[in-house]
Amino acid sequence: MDNWFNIIPVLLILAASLAIFLFADWRRCLVALAVLYLGMFILLVQVWPLTLSAVKLITGWVAVVILAMNLPRTSINQDEGILSQHIFKVFALIMIWVLAFLISKSISSAFQISPEIAFSALAIFGCGLLQLGMKGQPFFVIVAILTVFAGFELLYASVESSVLINGLLALINLLIAFIGAYFTDLGEREDQP
């Protein structure tokens, strides 16, 4: 790692992705997602202009807010499950991080990007994929898709600086958040007698 300061955003991202994966509470999950976008911003600002990086951060936070707007009216799932379930999830995520670490070297040299960005992006992407495979509730699926896209965008931003493509990706993130809010709204109406 050339820049030792980057250990802070990387740790922030790892902690946030762990929280997204572990928490069954919707609010905590969204806070973790917001932290994840902050960690991404700190890494992005090193390869992109501040304004463009800020767009990513703001888009991510707006997506979080859109999802959060529907939460107060819906029931909050308490953390459930047994300790072994959490241990299994932590180990699964650690395996993903190890895998991300192992391939980040070749990815960073192939795409000529910094290893910490490659590792963080792959770790986020893997966490999202793992969540997509293990959680079936609409809200968590939406959060997982946003997580996958966050990982992808971190990697992609390092190689593609087109304003239009990144604007469209931001639009897609917002639309996914709207769809998530719509899902939550539908779920809430289903619960009503």
Partner 1 sequence: MSAPLIWFVFPLGISIVFWFLQARTKLVFWLAVVICFLLGLVALLQPIGGLLKIGPASLEIKDTLLLFGRNFTLQNSDRFFLAFIYFGAIFWFLGSQNSAVPAKFIPLSLAILSLLTAALAVEPFLYSAVLIELAVIISLPLLLNRGEPIGQGVLRYFIYQSLAMPFILFAGWILSGTQANTSDIAQLNLAALLLGLGFAFLMAVFPFHVWMPELAGETHSYISGFLLGVLPPAYLLIMLKFLNGLVWLKDAAFLPTVLQTVGAVMIVTGGLWAAVQTDLKRVFGFAVIMQSGFSLLCISLHSQAGNELLYLSLIPHMLILGIFAYALTSLQRRGLSPDLEGLKGQVRNLPVLSVALLTSLFSIVGLPLFAGFSLNLELFEQLPANSPLLVWLLVGYAGLMFAGFRFLIVLIGNNRQKWSLYESTADLFFLVIGVVVLFAMGVFPSVLIGGVWKTFSALLTLT
Closest to partner 1 by CB, 31 or 183: 183
- Minimum distance between the CB of residue 137 and partner 1, rounded to whole angstroms? 9
Please check whether residue 76 is in contact with residue 64, taking contact to mean a CB–CB distance below 8 angstroms. no
Contact range with partner 1 by CB under 8 A, out of 46-54, 67-75, 97-105, 142-150: 142-150
- Minimum distance between the CB of residue 183 and partner 1, rounded to whole angstroms? 6
Print the binding letters for residues 147-166 with partner 1: x by CB under 8 A, - otherwise.
-xx--x---x--xx---xx-
Work out whether 26 is an interface residue with partner 1 (CB under 8 A): no
In the numeric block, the tokens 């993130």 are attached to: 173
- Minimum distance between the CB of residue 7 and partner 1, rounded to whole angstroms? 26
* CA-atom Rg of the chain in angstroms: 17
DSSP state of 181: H
In the numeric block, the tokens 């966490």 are attached to: 127
Q: In a 3-state reduction of DSSP, which class is residue 83?
A: helix
Distances, alpha carbon 93 to alpha carbons 79, 136, 143, 158, in Å? 18, 18, 16, 24
Residues in 63-92 at the binding interface with partner 1, rule: CB under 8 A? none
Closest to partner 1 by CB, 30 or 181: 181
In the numeric block, the tokens 């991404």 are attached to: 40
Print the binding letters for residues 165-184 with partner 1: x by CB under 8 A, - otherwise.
x-xxx-xx--xx--x--xx-
- Cα 132 from Cα 139, distance rounded (Å): 11
Please check whether residue 148 is in contact with residue 128, taking contact to mean a CB–CB distance below 8 angstroms. yes
Binding-site size for partner 1 (CB under 8 A) equals 28
- Cα 37 from Cα 160, distance rounded (Å): 19
Residues in 101-130 at the binding interface with partner 1, rule: CB under 8 A? 125
Q: Which residues make up the interface to partner 1 (CB under 8 A)? A: 125, 132, 136, 138, 141, 145, 148-149, 152, 156, 159-160, 164-165, 167-169, 171-172, 175-176, 179, 182-183, 186-187, 189-190
